[in-house]
Amino acid sequence: MFTGLVTHKTKILSITDNTFTVENVFDEPLWVWQSIAHDGACMTVGTRDENQYSFFAMQESFDKTNFGKKSAGESFNLEMPMKAWASLDGHFVTWHIDTTWTISQKELSDDGSLKLVCSFDTKFDALVIPKGSIALNGVSLTVVDVMEWWCSVRLIPQTQTDTNLWDLDLWSVINIEFDMLGKYLVKRGRE
């Protein structure tokens, strides 16, 4: 279980076949088989040392995430799994990516917040509501505006600095996980 509160950002060192090697930015030791969310996609540590670690991404991960668009030198947002005793400050996420979206607008506002507008397939309309939760590249955010094929979010300065969302250009592909509780409600309504 995860919360969508990104704790670290790491640089991709290399991509060989389906294996990503990234900088180890964690203070605590990592172990093989440990799960870590990378841009919101849960991946298993394969090898590690104090400077770097690697993980294998199967074809389904490339099909459903932005991993195929990544290259060495770019970054991942990181989150460790939630501890059973920890407070839930974001929202419930499983880190199984539902789809990818593109950034169709990026605008810095006078108050310092960054507005991102994301386009998406209309089949997901029922899962996106104003003031609802959404995870973009692993970051738990609040939906501001919703139209038939797009929604907007706003990033506070700390989110701009501490995640890779600021680094995205127009038409960049981002990972999306819709609110888990919303998915259950939509499914229940179809029964």
**Interstrand relation of 41-48 and 35-38 (parallel, antiparallel or unpaired):** antiparallel
pLDDT of residue 187: 74
Fold of the domain built from segment(s) 99-190: Elongation Factor Tu (Ef-tu); domain 3 (2.40.30)
Rounded to whole angstroms, the Cα distance separating 4 from 2 reads 6
pLDDT of residue 138: 92
Rounded to whole angstroms, the Cα distance separating 173 from 171 reads 6
Lookup: tokens for 24: 């180890």
Q: Where in the chain is the domain with CATH 2.40.30.20?
A: 8-79, 99-190
Find all residues with CB under 8 Å of 45, minimum gap 6, and list them: 30, 31, 32, 33, 34, 35, 36, 53, 54, 55
Which amino acid does the sequence have at 24?
N
pLDDT of residue 147: 87
pLDDT of residue 90: 60
pLDDT of residue 125: 87
Kindly state the DSSP code that residue 30 receives in the 8-state scheme: P
User: What CATH number should be reported for the domain whose range is 8-79?
Assistant: 2.40.30.20
pLDDT of residue 40: 93
What is the full per-residue pLDDT of the chain (191 aa) written as tens digits? Answer: 566 678 899 999 999 999 999 999 999 899 999 999 999 999 999 999 999 999 999 999 999 999 999 999 999 999 887 665 556 666 677 778 999 989 999 999 999 999 999 988 888 888 898 998 899 999 999 999 998 788 999 999 999 999 999 999 999 999 999 987 777 787 777 76
Rounded to whole angstroms, the Cα distance separating 14 from 91 reads 31
pLDDT of residue 60: 93
Lookup: tokens for 126: 């029922």
Q: Locate all alpha helices (DSSP H) within the chain, ordered by sequence.
A: 59-64, 157-162, 180-190
Beta strands in 49-185 (DSSP E): 52-56, 75-79, 99-108, 114-119, 133-136, 139-146, 150-155, 173-178
